[in-house]
Structure 1
Amino acid sequence: MIITTAGRVNSQLITRAKNIANTYNIRFMERSGLSINALRNKYKEDVIIVEKGRLTAIPDNSDNKLFFHPNLAMIRAKRMLRNETDPFIETAQLKEGMSMLDCTLGLASDSIIASLAVGSAGSVSGIEGSSLIYLLAKEGLATFSSGIQRFDQAMRRINVIKAEHYAYLRNAGTNSVDVVYFDPMFSTEINTSDGINSIRTRTVKNTLNINVIEEASRVARERIVLKDHWKSERFNELGFVQYKRKTALFHYGVLEV
């Protein structure tokens, strides 16, 4: 990866770009009048652009622009703050003070909702294997401002971990978290989900298999939750009870431990 600034540059953008470069050990490149496409063609790397208010990433092999935004998490959070239920929280049975390990963090939508549910007395950690998505998620969770104090506090509490989830689970303590969560890339694409499809090219394609689930069962005190396409065979193959939801394109599965 390389990091640069928006075309209309100022000292604040340059300072932030250099700080991020130092933090994540990536190269800072001056724009020097070059377009983003020219930078991509020259260096053949993913480009992160520091803009006013956000980071935008353009992968080397795609024209999709990636950036952190809570999207549907904000809508779901507003419902929760009105004491309405959330299907994920109900399925995972997350309550204040509990802990959750999200093994497939992505851009953290479900982890934000989990953090809101468990509150300051609980904890949520998220594992992300892609260096690009890890950077966007970590910086976004630390800096995005929604104007909703409890929502922003929930984002700030999430511990973002750069790792491959199987290796992390193998080294994690037995019964160290209440809930372990998996939201792998669906083998069947949901074409209406722009957020999912936009990061598909940069996700780490880890296989979710029985070895991973065995480690997750050791680490979890209460249950493992799987989110997958409604037609997925993984629920049956890995021993999950599939909770079907009418009209929903994805279902949740639960494995009590």
Structure 2
Amino acid sequence: MTMGITTIRNVTRPVKEEAWARAEALGLPYFRREGTLDDMMTAFRLEGLLVYGKDLPYYYGGGGEYHYHFGTSVLRKGQMEQGHEDRLCRLLPHKEDLTVLDATFGQGGDSLTMSWFLGDRGHVTALEKSTALWEIGQAAIDSYEDSKEEGLTRALRRITLIHEDFRTFLEKAKPKSFDVIYFDPMFKAPVKRRENNMEGFRKAAAYDSLTEEILGLAQRTAAMRIIVKERPFSRLFSTGLFHFVDRRKGQSTAYGVMDV
């Protein structure tokens, strides 16, 4: 992806200096803000821009923006507080100090929900290959706050986010170094794409495929369980690798569970 860094209009000198410093740290070109973001993308032949301002950085992909937010984690936490089970969290083994590797951080909703659910009983480490999503996610972990959701804010602070793709990470990971490994790869056929306003996010995301080879590496690295979120008709669920698949009528996603 050809991506650059710029700022919002009329920014202070500290913001410009921060954007410049992040460009150097990430190895991305810095462009002084001139005109619209679309004009800049055309002029410099870019596919996207990380934009810095007084708030968290966001991604602009031409026709769509992605800003970090708690999203459905607020609803999921509320449901659990009312005594309802969360489809993903209910699949986590009951163990003190449970270590979870979320191999596909993305918007961070699953990492955040699991971190809140585990509390002090465990820890979530997450991987993100996309430079844009890693930068936005790490900035959120460092400083995003929601005064109405102090519990989720604390859970966000507890997440460890690593800028790396899951294949590279798993190839060098120590055997049995995480209790649970979770995958939620980007769907090529997205769920409610327009309704969920996902264009900006999808343009920033990485689309690495989850293969049987990757699952083999995960089996070596996981001590207890591998969980995969996919469409119910995913071919991975017909490989015979999974001990069971949680499919539910009317749900557009399913969870495959492999115990190791």
Distance 1:80 1:12 in 2: 41
Which residue in 2 is equivalent to 1:8? Answer: 10
Which residue in 2 is equivalent to 1:153? Answer: 154
1:64-117 C-alpha deviation (Å, 9 max, x unpaired): 212211210122123334443211100233655211111111111100111112
Distance 1:230 1:197 in 2: 23
| Contact 2:146–2:153, Cα closer than 8 Å, also in 1 | yes
- CA 1:82/1:51 → structure 2, altered by over 3 Å: closer, same or farther? farther
1:164-207 C-alpha deviation (Å, 9 max, x unpaired): 21121111111111100010122432125625554333332222
- CA 1:176/1:124 → structure 2, altered by over 3 Å: closer, same or farther? same
Of the three residues 51, 54, 63, the one matched with 2:53 is 51
Of the three residues 243, 246, 251, the one matched with 1:243 is 246
Q: What is the SS of the residue equivalent to 1:21? A: helix
Q: Say if 2:239 is the partner of 1:231.
A: no
- CA 1:171/1:56 → structure 2, altered by over 3 Å: closer, same or farther? same
Q: Say if 2:241 is the partner of 1:252.
A: no
Distance 2:97 2:197 in 1: 30
- CA 1:249/1:119 → structure 2, altered by over 3 Å: closer, same or farther? same
Q: Say if 2:97 is the partner of 1:97.
A: yes
The count of aligned residue pairs is 254
Aligned-residue RMSD, C-alpha: 2.1
Q: In structure 2, give the amino acid aligned to 1:202.
A: A
Q: What is the SS of the residue equivalent to 2:57? A: strand
| Contact 2:65–2:199, Cα closer than 8 Å, also in 1 | no
Q: What is the SS of the residue equivalent to 1:123? A: strand
1:204-245 C-alpha deviation (Å, 9 max, x unpaired): 222211111111011111100010112222212262221111
- CA 1:199/1:207 → structure 2, altered by over 3 Å: closer, same or farther? same
Which residue in 1 is equivalent to 2:165? Answer: 164
- CA 1:213/1:129 → structure 2, altered by over 3 Å: closer, same or farther? same
| Contact 2:56–2:136, Cα closer than 8 Å, also in 1 | no
Q: Residues 46-125 of structure 1 correspond to what in structure 2 (within 5 A)? A: 46-59=48-61, 62-93=62-93, 97-125=97-125
Distance 1:142 1:94 in 2: 29
Q: TM-score, normalised by structure 1?
A: 0.89
Distance 1:29 1:232 in 2: 42
Which residue in 2 is equivalent to 1:176? Answer: 177
| Contact 1:134–1:160, Cα closer than 8 Å, also in 2 | yes
Which residue in 2 is equivalent to 1:21? Answer: 23
- Indicate the percent of aligned positions where both proteins have the same amino acid: 24
Q: In structure 1, give the amino acid aligned to 2:74.
A: M
Q: Which runs of 5 or more residues in structure 1 are unaligned?
A: none
Which residue in 2 is equivalent to 1:41? Answer: 42
179-188 vs 192-201, greater mean Cα deviation: 192-201
Q: TM-score, normalised by structure 2?
A: 0.88
